[in-house]
Amino acid sequence: MRIYLTLIVCLFVTHLGTAQESPDIRACGDKATTQMAINACAGDEARRADAELNHMYSQLLLKAEKDPVATAKIKAAEKLWIAYRDAYIEAMYPAEDKQAAYGTMYSMEVSLLTAKMARQHTSALKELLRQQEGGEGNPSK
Q: What pLDDT does residue 118 have?
A: 98
**141: in domain:** no
**137: in domain:** no
Kindly list the distances between the CA atom of residue 113 and the CA atoms of 9, 11, 59, in Å, as whole numbers in the listed order: 17, 15, 24
Q: How far apart are CA 40 and CA 44, in angstroms?
A: 6
Q: What is the CATH number of the domain that holds 98?
A: 1.20.1270.180
**102: in domain:** yes
**139: in domain:** no
* Residue 86 CA, distance from chain mean position: 11
Q: Domain residues for 90?
A: 2-132
Q: What pLDDT does residue 20 have?
A: 60
Per run of 10 residues, the mean pLDDT along the chain (length 141 residues) is 46 48 80 90 96 98 94 97 98 97 96 97 96 67 45
Q: What pLDDT does residue 50 have?
A: 98
Q: What pLDDT does residue 16 have?
A: 45
**62: in domain:** yes
Considering its fold, how many domains does the chain have in total? 1
Q: What pLDDT does residue 26 have?
A: 82
**101: in domain:** yes
Q: What pLDDT does residue 139 have?
A: 52
Q: How far apart are CA 2 and CA 28, in angstroms?
A: 19
